[in-house]
Amino acid sequence: MKITWLGHSSFLLEESTGTTIVTDPYDGYIGFEMPQIEADIVTVSHAHKDHNRVDRVGGNPTVINRAGAYEIGGVHILAHRTNHDDKKGALRGSNLVFKYRMDGVDICHMGDIGEQCNAILVESLMPVNVLMIPVGGNYTVDAAEAKEYVDRIMPDIVIPMHYKTKDLDMDIDRINEFLDLFDDEDIIFSQGNTVEFDRADFDGESTKVLVLEKLSR
């Protein structure tokens, strides 16, 4: 399966069968525009416009924005309701954490998770091969809180998202604070915005942080 970072918390997930998913499409007010893209499915973690602009995705996709279990185009999707803040949703409402199974690979997109790590949520998500987690703080968990999720979930690969890039007009932290919590040998800087995985790529022995380049425009 293939993962392409589209910027912010948006990714294009592609299964070898051809089924495609776009996560959390965003509005241009964040400082840059969504690329023109089509998909079979769009998953929306919450109803904020830097995550829910489904009109930016072509192809008449099926939109998933509620908790539940789904099977579309041979892809299994679980959506877990969580909180966008650490006040049980009182500040920013709810958030959906999505887990996808594509080509035998378990991928988890944490959306704008804001609640502190807890055993019930972690157990509902495991096992995870690829974890996409916000690390920028302010509106989501910060670097240290994200690291706790990583330590508890123990994915093979972590892909940071929702952090300050040079053209992002949001008051959130850069990626450095998160990367500083890992050993240098466990950090991989990709030379592009796309990566491919096969089930055989994962041995469950260690966690690597994969930093993707944002899609150029």
For residue 93, give the amino acid letter. G
pLDDT in tens, 145-157: 999 999 999 999 9
The pLDDT value given to residue 142: 95
Question: What pLDDT does residue 42 have?
Answer: 98
For 2-211, the fitting CATH number among 1.10.3720.10, 3.20.20.30, 3.40.50.2020, 3.60.15.10 is 3.60.15.10
Q: Name residue, tokens 């830097």.
A: 50
* Residue 113: per-residue pLDDT: 95
Q: Which residues of the chain have pLDDT under 50?
A: 217
pLDDT at 204: 80
Structural contact between residues 195 and 142, judged by C-beta atoms closer than 8 angstroms: no
Q: Determine the pLDDT at residue 90.
A: 67
Domain boundary assignment for the chain? 2-211
CA-nearest of 77, 27, 14 to 57 is 27
* pLDDT tens digits for range 51-80: 899 999 999 999 999 999 999 999 999 999
